[in-house]
Structure 1
């Protein structure tokens, strides 16, 4: 099978961070509560119907946001998540305080009946203009079956449409696992039709309720990441916990420049063939948008998570706390703790990740490595690539040099 997708539209297959990730994260996510009316099959937080009495208070959340500002300018993006953040009565007050002090605040609610135009307008009125929603199936049956509450699909679509009507920006998240992998082109079609800021494919991490959900094999993951790349000129796709998408983007860019057959060279399999054919039939391969290059941000390396009781971890899927904001500064924990400084060191990576020539731009999912093996530095279990096997090594080195932070 020979497919040539032509020369890439962008000269940047990845985006380099402009600020030192050892000093300043790009994103801070605060899990405001674990209360949620859904019972999703993958839930990292194992959310419960009611709120915990140990959650950060309104004033503690305010202090946290003040500390986030002290990382420096530009301030990190501050995302209020859950559970379902709409379960907190003080959500609007907290969001307003954050916006008023100069933070870029975004909100990630669940697809319940609380997600409506009225609630979104109240968020907009206090200065929140970006929300993140989840769509994990292309139909009511598949999405509601995954979320385990009828009506979730309709609530999500209605909330999405209301946000767009209000002029808010929407990021859409989709869990990628065995139950829905064949639906990805259909979900992408919905993304194209309704419009989003970004569409993020979340590669399942075996934690919380998602331990037995059914992750893909490494070979299947490679097929999915390549289809994501194929659809990148039609929908603004990125990945969560799929850091090897950066390696795929670099390799596909080089292969397109060389006019080489990516299917043969990257040894793509039958899942790729099936998904690509479906994407092509839906008109998802011939868009006019510039491809969205993935950015080199990962757990503890440009990204930090604060849970509902104040524990600071590299990611919501990597439940190893460095400390608690109730008695430590999030700035000090991020910059100086052994956990965070260690996770930013590629030389500590083991197995294939330690030997891989892409480990400074990828590094693998530390969350998936830890939850699969108990070792934060173990190799990424869902990556098929063998270090040193890509035949265009010199071209890759040139791209690395061109995309270094010193080059902007």
Structure 2
């Protein structure tokens, strides 16, 4: 299985995150992009954006997310979405909860072909959420944007950043979201880069406790749960299922050795910056090329950093010998931001691999 898994994501990315701009009116405490009020004149032009869409279309049928900053800060966003839709791409947009998130803009997104938007809710309490996002009224704008999106037939994903300020409120946030008609809850475990403070990152024990809550919530919520920058939740989930009596295990769940390996940085996943830089992740400092003078698919397939990120057996520390390394692989972004080495062990994982424990 491991040999086959090693090549599963070699051919093309499954998920492409495109940072349309770094301009944004919010001042979120965790912002990776350290967003700025105005657009950068070096951003990809409309013509360059159309060319990039054509390049992405040659990657097969990936999920494409237009993010930022705030992608609604680009006046040509609807034209770009329309072009992408015409090329057969599935487009999701991650707008910020500012004055630009109006009913009219959501109607335009729907008309252009946007299938889904992702909105952020980081607390069940408006004051806590607004404080984290840096702008009063962000909570209510988010809910208004959600309502408009659903009215116009756009599905909604809710993103929640989990950090020290809110990790004890996971159940309250889930209860609030259960009253909404959302397609997916994406739970992002903080990576300390940009404006994010390292002191806000959960330790391994706290992370495991949040995993416990999410696992319990999975069967109770009317929507799916996906973790972001926490592939070790797959390890936790697999262990919990394996510990159940065989007759009680979900029949739809395969054993770890038969499951599809995790998509991760450079491994089925690629990030394109507002100025066209190609990276395995928006949280990693590796610039592997630029769409202005390099082919996206060629960079993804052949750059040495991308290739190594798809080979977890080359990772250092316990992640490199872990029995769950294909299923999980750890957050390479968090490893880099907290240790300086993208190939080091995941810093927030409690698991002690059998081979690692035997070696020490």
Same fold (TM over 0.5): yes
Gaps of 5+ in 1: 1-15, 261-289, 390-408
Alignment partner of 1:339 is 2:305: yes
Aligned residue for 1:225?
211
1:197, 1:388 → 2: CA distance? 37
SS in 2 for 1:207: coil
2:134, 2:312 → 1: CA distance? 39
Alignment partner of 1:150 is 2:136: yes
SS in 1 for 2:178: helix
1:256, 1:193 → 2: CA distance? 30
1:210 aligned residue (160, 176, 196)? 196
Deviation string for 1:190-228 (max 9, x for gaps)?
A: 221102111011011010000345111101101101211
Instruction: Indicate conservation of the 8 Å contact 1:133/1:171, yes or no.
Output: yes
Aligned residue for 1:56?
44
1:149, 1:367 → 2: CA distance? 27
Alignment partner of 1:88 is 2:54: no
Instruction: Indicate conservation of the 8 Å contact 2:49/2:80, yes or no.
Output: yes
Aligned residue for 1:117?
103
Aligned residue for 1:368?
334
Instruction: Indicate conservation of the 8 Å contact 1:217/1:382, yes or no.
Output: yes
1:169, 1:379 → 2: CA distance? 36
Alignment partner of 1:28 is 2:21: no
Instruction: Indicate conservation of the 8 Å contact 1:348/1:354, yes or no.
Output: yes
Alignment partner of 1:353 is 2:319: yes
2:173, 2:148 → 1: CA distance? 19
CA gap of 1:205–1:343, structure 2 versus 1, over 3 A, is same
Aligned residue for 1:6?
none
SS in 2 for 1:193: coil
2:199, 2:136 → 1: CA distance? 19
SS in 2 for 1:208: coil
Alignment partner of 1:38 is 2:26: yes
How many residues in Structure 1 have an aligned counterpart in Structure 2? Answer: 345
Deviation string for 1:141-182 (max 9, x for gaps)?
A: 010000010010000011112112222111111000000112
State the TM-score, normalizing by the size of structure 1. Answer: 0.81
Aligned residue for 2:256?
none
Q: CA deviation at 1:347?
A: 1.7
- Please report the RMSD computed on the Cα atoms of aligned residues, expressed in angstroms: 2.3
Deviation string for 1:14-36 (max 9, x for gaps)?
A: xx99x931111111010000000
Instruction: Indicate conservation of the 8 Å contact 1:207/1:371, yes or no.
Output: yes
CA gap of 1:259–1:146, structure 2 versus 1, over 3 A, is farther
Q: CA deviation at 1:259?
A: 8.9
